[in-house]
Structure 1
Amino acid sequence: MIFTILTKGRTILVVGTLFCLTSHPATSQAESTTNSQEVQAKRNKQIVTAAFDRWADGSSDFFNEMLAPDIEWTVEGSGPNAATYRGREAFMSGAVRPFVSRLRIPVRPLSKRLWADGDHVIINWEGEAIAQDGRPYRNRYVWIFRMAGGKATEVNAFLDLAPYDDVLRRIPAPGEEGAQ
């Protein structure tokens, strides 16, 4: 084939032209997909950043605002409070409300860093609260959101479960008699 190409000058031109015509649409599609993913990532990052800012200011109900009703939220790790919750209400009643009910001052994000790639947003943040007994609660988190339609549909949450578990163990839930 190389010999044929070298001996027929016109064939080189035709092969070169065909190559350019057939490779151009694939390149355009790849560029279009990349641009679409970049736009999606930027939009998702803006949505999550704005929601975290409102939470830090105390002016939002972050979980109801950000989580899809059919969310799958996984608290990674081991111990009694590592679990997967299917549905926003299951997550709220199983993880959020039992914890929040033991706090005098709710958790607020103090700092955050966000990265986005397509439909995923990664949030590395630090939070602080005051428990009902006056002791501080501090923790660091990494949440990986899979976004769809401006809401998180799947979350993998990483945090130090020891301080979280300690608040649940140390502070009785409202209506419970005595310490746990």
Structure 2
Amino acid sequence: MPLLTSLRFRAGLVALGVVASFALLPQSTYASQATSAESRNKQIVTEAFDRWESGGTGFFDELLAPDVVWTIKGSGPSAGTFQGRDVFVDQAVRPFVSRLSTPIRPVDKRVWADGDHVIVNWDGEGMARDGVPYRNSYAWILRMRDGNAVEVIAFLDLTPYDDVLRRVPAPTTNGEHP
């Protein structure tokens, strides 16, 4: 009888091992897919920043989904949430860049990915039309889907940003600067 019990015990252990292996297989497959998605998202965002740093001008069109929700955190007049890429560009990007003589370019960046989120901590520099340099540090948290950011939470020092908007007059409607 002890031999029969020992065989049943061994068979039970083998069966348990087989079941455990199958239970772990989907997790390891999922982990591999998640790591692949993280790497792909990090690469997409890093390459978009690299093109912007090198003089590219299509950063927001390249990276943002048309229905992106962009939130600028803070309490200044520029803080708020923008529904859609066009709304964000029209209400937050264009009014600011129209007051610059040289565009903001990333000069330093660090990029991390976690699941479908990519975090970018970057420093940017540009020149306002009145000759005063603009420098700021940013932290953007992008939630990615299908190669585009569908949600962005942006942290920056709003004081220098709002100062450019306040200090430098907007161009007139015919595109000339006052």
Q: Considering the TM-score relative to the shorter chain, is it more than 0.5?
A: yes
Q: Which residue of 2 aligns with 1:153?
A: 150
Choose from 98, 102, 120 the match for 1:123.
120
Q: How does 1:25-104 map to 2 (within 5 A)?
A: 25-104=22-101
AA matched with 1:136: P
Secondary structure class of the residue paired with 2:57: coil
1:78 Cα deviation (Å)? 1.1
- The residue matched to 1:153 in structure 2 has which SS? strand
Q: If the length of structure 1 is used for normalisation, what is the TM-score?
A: 0.91
Aligned-residue offset at 1:12: 1.5
Count of aligned pairs between the two proteins: 173
Distance 1:60 1:73 in 2: 19
Give the deviation of 1:70 after TM superposition.
Answer: 0.3
State the shift of 1:163 in Å.
Answer: 0.6
Question: Which amino acid counterpart does residue 70 of structure 2 have in structure 1?
Answer: W
Q: Which runs of 5+ in 2 are unaligned?
A: none
Distance in 2, Cα, partners of 1:84 & 1:11: 64
Tell me by how many angstroms 1:59 deviates: 2.4
Question: For 2:52 and 2:76, how far apart are their aligned partners in 1?
Answer: 28
Contact 1:102 1:171 in 2 (8 A): yes
Looking at structure 2, the residues matched to 171 and 112 of structure 1 have their Cα atoms a distance apart, in angstroms, of 27
Cα distance between partner residues in 2 of 1:85 and 1:15: 59
RMSD of aligned C-alpha atoms? Answer: 1.8
TM-score, normalisation: structure 2: 0.92
Q: CA deviation at 1:77?
A: 1.3
5+ residue gaps in structure 1? none
1:108-166 alpha-carbon deviations (Å, 9 max, x no partner): 00011101122111111000010010001000001111111111111010111111011
Structure 1 runs (4+) deviating above 3 angstroms are none
1:8 match: secondary structure: helix
